[in-house]
Chain A
């Protein structure tokens, strides 16, 4: 996880659900940690409440892997926290993850999991 950024997006798969959500949220623009958490929670992703240590740990790892970039605040506004933005690699990885999930969803559909579920509603 603490590896140098690899050019191959597939090397980062599968993504942790939280990491995937972070990438999705950041596609709409850069945000602070709390902003990211609030946006994910509002989307009802069933990830539950997001707590700071876990989130910053993920963000740090994603920054190290080159999926996001972290902009530290200037010294005089130190209490505002870093702004995180998605990188091109992050974008590619999100696309690959979405494809991976789509493949899984198709497979699930082939097993009629989603039909059953929808039918029961």
Chain B
């Protein structure tokens, strides 16, 4: 028993011993441990074991603290044997007797008061210090809170670092992730020893009815072990388990935390309620803890029996019915790499066993990606770029504050020298500077925190465009620590910027300060160096901003291939709610009749997807007369269905042939319209009209689209359907009337499309009160959303750059102004010896010009080095774009000129007599 007790507490106590000062630990550490063991031996119950252990820890920590404090006391007594007495009015007055600890506290308070008084007397310096540093710290705190929430914090999943996402990459496929079929997953699950659990996940959109209220919900159909594998717990009710997997299990549903609040207002009595979905009654068994959605946004989780599609025979047995995504948990001691190797080997074995289920018998590569990496891959580069940009702003801010401190240090040279002459030691003076800087830096940090807190909401919305983890961003202890560390670091740095009077040369120093305060050559050089650094870093930031701005302009000037003005879109899915194909068509026909009758409607269409708000729907297609080279995968095309008014409504021109018309219906011959990219690929020299194609993808048998030949009747212009910066894919449009499909409405209006939305919603609801309507947006809004991430990049980096340039301009201006004020006497001499004002003006401007040229040269070299890291975030602009470099250089030069002009002007206006008298 006692051995067991020791084995529990010993290592912890042994570790805790390290909080003791080394000498005490060396002398008594072993004895303390042995004392503790003997005491444990006397303990009579588990409770007293715990109590002894806890009290020993508290005892240890408390007295370790006491030891440390007395250590500090004895060190300060040793290093500063003389100090000012309580009688001394100001710091720097020597005393003869040894001061007590209490005296020291009093001295500190006095120094603090003195520092505050000094700062109040120089409000301009204090304000400039606090604001400049506050801006720098604010930018960094805000970005760090995002980086911390998204990239650094562990996943909320239990053992989140062992969760991996599997992807199956088919050779030569246009889509890298072709997902898995259920039989394949079964094989991987049985064979993989590197994985301790393999869970299935597939998402479908269903209509759910709660008390007759329809909800169009994104449902994840998952295997029962999903929550175990993902390390997720319910906040309410229970999780699904493997008992929910068999065909005989009853359909159950778990709500996501977000959907629970959205649809049920966070009502905890929801567990045990039932909803209707897919014609079945489903029990709500629990609510999941809040977790980031991956691979897509999900409203509810249901078991396999809740989805009729998943209960079909082909889903369970067809090895090519690949629509399931796979999450897995690494077995203890395994890594993603070891899992990758094993899964690739299993994939090769499966190809050997079932060659017919793989394209050309080629083995797929299985990629194992840690979940955390998958969740943040899109955000990583952007966030790191932002962090670096914010870091640059801080560098500039610090350089500026260092400059201010240096200037102030030179101005108070006399004060510090007098203090030194009166007996203040260097340490005392340094401490005085340190206290001043700590006060100012902490004020700066407070301002930074206020700024960051004000901006955090915007940043969360920004980050949400890149990662599902955005919801986890908070200003927490880490962020606060980060801010305080920066502030204290800055304070330490700035306290060592000013030179202190040399103890050995106090005599000369006193003589010097009694006549004039002058900065040293070294001090001036440092100032110039700091300004050059500011200009260089501002240049880099400005180039970044310029590149992102250009990316945004390039994106916005892209012709998406359709007219985004005055088109209202909304998803009105009609299929699946118990309607037959004919009923779906009739429903949309009635809807068209009524919507077109609304005033202001000039065009109407139903389509299977809305431009810029859909994901590609790619399937293998065969074109008549076009042979696929052996060992090449059948080419794919994007499947789309639309009513005849589609092309006219969105304003896409028909290049050849005809659009669909009323005669293309279920009874007539199957026809298609293809886009220009596809026509150019298959028929570079021939006329595509009248040629035929057919869907050859095995997936199509599962969604009810036939593989008969279809005649091409028209060619339409290319449209950018998925992202503005992606080249158009091959697209095949087929008439909505020939194969019914769930659809979205596209309505062209003569007036404001947003104003028409309520009337359209009323028409839809009048027709069927339970009809779900979603994503009511104009094409203009969708376009703006498509450029939003790039716009935000440009805005944020642009804001940082503007901030940097302002701070740098202030730096240039203040250094020159300072230089002018020092040299007033020199100017007086020059002017009285016949120099003209213009010459003086030119002289100071040249001084500024030298700083600028050196700054630009260093910044340019730096920018060439770092800009290639952002090339992944750019669009149609090189990271070394000369136009950007030159124009940004010109902007910075103009700013530096303006910043130099005021001090130069001041210098040239000096009156010689006054200047000669200047002290």
Contact = CB atoms under 8 A, between A and B. Distances in A.
B63 A53 contact: yes
A82 B36 CA distance: 15
A60 B28 contact: yes
A79 B30 contact: yes
Contacts of B59: 51-54
A82 B29 CA distance: 12
A51 B30 contact: no
Nearest to B60: A53
A34 B34 contact: yes
Contacts of A55: 35
A34 B24 contact: no
B15 to A, nearest CB: 14
A57 B31 contact: no
B63 A54 contact: yes
A79 B31 CA distance: 7
Nearest to A63: B27
Contacts of A37: 35, 39
Contacts of A56: 24, 28, 31-32, 35
Interface string A60-85: 10000000000000000011111000
Contacts of A57: 24, 28, 63, 66-67
Contact of A2 (B55, B56, B74): B74
A49 interface: yes
Interface in B55-72: 55-56, 59-60, 62-64, 66-67, 70
B20 interface: yes
Contacts of B74: 2
A30 interface: no
Contacts of A78: 30
Contacts of B66: 57
Contacts of B60: 51-53
B44 to A, nearest CB: 14
B878 interface: no
Contacts of B752: none
A9 interface: no
A52 B56 contact: yes
B38 interface: yes
A73 to B, nearest CB: 9
B30 A52 contact: no
Interface residues of A, number: 20
A79 B28 contact: no
Contacts of B35: 33-34, 37, 52, 55-56, 81
A52 B36 contact: yes
A73 B133 CA distance: 58
A80 B24 CA distance: 17
A60 B27 CA distance: 9
Nearest to A37: B35
A79 B27 CA distance: 12
Interface in A20-41: 32-34, 37
Given A34-B38, A57-B66, A57-B67, A52 B24 contact: no
B854 to A, nearest CB: 57
Contacts of B36: 52
A62 B739 CA distance: 96
A1 B27 CA distance: 18
B79 to A, nearest CB: 16
Interface of A is mostly: helix
B31 A52 contact: yes
A32 B32 CA distance: 11
B24 A82 contact: no
Contacts of B32: 52-53, 56
Interface in B19-57: 20, 24, 27-28, 30-32, 34-36, 38-39, 55-56
Contacts, number: 59
A40 to B, nearest CB: 13
B571 to A, nearest CB: 69
A60 B24 contact: yes
Nearest to A57: B63
Interface in B561-610: none
A79 B39 CA distance: 15
A33 B31 contact: yes
B81 to A, nearest CB: 16
Contacts of A34: 34-35, 38-39
A57 to B, nearest CB: 5
Interface string A79-105: 111100000000000000000000000
A42 to B, nearest CB: 12
A95 B64 CA distance: 31
A81 B55 contact: no
A53 B64 contact: yes
B614 to A, nearest CB: 67
A54 B34 CA distance: 14
A86 to B, nearest CB: 19
Nearest to B56: A51
A79 B30 CA distance: 7
A7 to B, nearest CB: 22
Interface string A2-18: 10000000000000000
Contacts of B55: 49, 51
Contacts of A2: 70, 74
Contacts of A80: 34
Contacts of B30: 78-79, 81
Residue with the greatest number of chain B CB neighbours at <10 A, chosen from A2, A34, A37, A60: A34
B28 to A, nearest CB: 4
Nearest to A35: B38
A82 B31 CA distance: 8
Contacts of B39: 34, 37, 52
Q: Which has the most chain B C-beta neighbours within 10 Å: A1, A33, A78?
A: A33
A65 B67 CA distance: 17
Q: Which of B20, B28, B62, B66 has the most CB of A within 10 A?
A: B28
Nearest to B39: A34
A37 B74 CA distance: 29
Contacts of A33: 31, 35
A86 B311 CA distance: 87
A79 B32 CA distance: 10
Contacts of B20: 53
Nearest to B61: A53
Contacts of B62: 53-54
A55 to B, nearest CB: 7
Contacts of B56: 51-53
Nearest to A58: B63
Contacts of A49: 55
Contacts of A1: 70
B31 A81 contact: yes
A39 to B, nearest CB: 13
Contacts of B64: 53
A34 B74 CA distance: 29
B569 to A, nearest CB: 72
Interface in B349-398: none
Nearest to B20: A53
22 contacts: A2-B70, A33-B35, A34-B34, A34-B39, A37-B35, A37-B39, A49-B55, A52-B32, A52-B36, A53-B56, A53-B59, A53-B62, A53-B63, A53-B64, A54-B62, A56-B31, A56-B35, A57-B24, A57-B28, A57-B63, A80-B34, A82-B31
6 tightest A-B CB contacts, nearest first: A51-B59, A52-B35, A52-B32, A56-B28, A81-B31, A53-B63
Given A33-B31, A33-B35, A52-B56, 11 more contacts: A2-B70, A49-B55, A51-B55, A51-B59, A52-B31, A55-B35, A56-B35, A57-B24, A57-B28, A57-B66, A81-B34
